[in-house]
Homo-oligomer: A and B are copies of this chain.
Amino acid sequence: MKNYRLKIQYDGTRYRGWQRLAGRDDTIQGKIENVLSRLLDVPVQLDGAGRTDAGVHARCQVANVHLACGWEPAEMRQKLNEYLPEDIRILEVSQAGERFHSRLNALAKVYEYHLLKEGCYDVFARKYSWQMMQPLDTGRMRRAAEYLTGEHDFRGFCTKASKKKSTVRRLDAIEIRETEDSVYLRFEGNGFLYNMVRILTGTLVEIGAGKREPESIRDILQQKERSLAGETAPAQGLTLLAVRYD
């Protein structure tokens, strides 16, 4: 058995997210597993580093798969790209150590959310951004971001939190970059809960728009109540940029 490591890029617009769903043919994991299964005539399980939601994109998702086949990595990449739809591309295939696991070995993930400023348009980014309807004060957003970085219980910033599993995560950095027509929020952390980046974004946007105070972040972290946080930002503005390993 060889353990192949894949770097994958996808436009999530048409898909129900990364994770395979029984009986459906519109997930990223499912599409790639199906192509491999058909080519090799065996069942295939591909493990991805991050389970991106329906509509979320990836510049560089990482996954791995154990296969008993003679393919060189470059051959596997070429075959996959030949049979996959054009909105899913395999950027790179390499052979990994036997024990490498894309999710369990990931040290950090980097997500970016693209906000298009009020009154600014970019037709080329329309499927990859969230159009703002009010001006944003990035100074306020940066102050709020300071409360968020570090290790916290992010239970208030996630959907369907498990009662049994820990909701403590370490958010290493939130970088807020402003251009003439956009605001980019880049989140780097050791793990993200379900919808966490989108709820963080929705909350930061409300703070930037003056609808809530930067200090409200402290209450959400302390009280761990989803209802205290902002709305979940739309999936289409979010992209998984990178997964970091040792």
Contact = CB atoms under 8 A, between A and B. Distances in A.
A72 interface: no
A57 interface: yes
B10 A87 contact: no
Copies per assembly: 2
Interface stretch (A18-26, A117-125, A141-149): A117-125
A9 B121 contact: yes
A87 B9 contact: no
Contacts of A59: 124
Contact of A124 (B81, B91, B121, B128): B128
A230 B122 CA distance: 33
Contacts of A124: 11, 57, 59, 128
A126 B57 contact: no
Interface in A72-129: 81, 86-89, 91, 121-124, 126, 128
A31 to B, nearest CB: 13
Contacts of A121: 9, 81, 89, 91
Contacts of A81: 121
A124 to B, nearest CB: 6
Contact of A10 (B9, B57, B88, B123): B123
A135 to B, nearest CB: 16
Contacts of A86: 123, 126
Interface string A184-201: 000000000000000000
Can you list the 4 inter-chain pairs with the closest CB atoms, starting with the nearest?
Answer: A89-B121, A11-B123, A9-B123, A87-B123
20 contacts: A9-B121, A9-B122, A9-B123, A10-B123, A11-B123, A11-B124, A11-B126, A57-B124, A59-B124, A81-B121, A86-B123, A86-B126, A87-B123, A87-B126, A88-B123, A89-B121, A89-B122, A89-B123, A91-B121, A124-B128
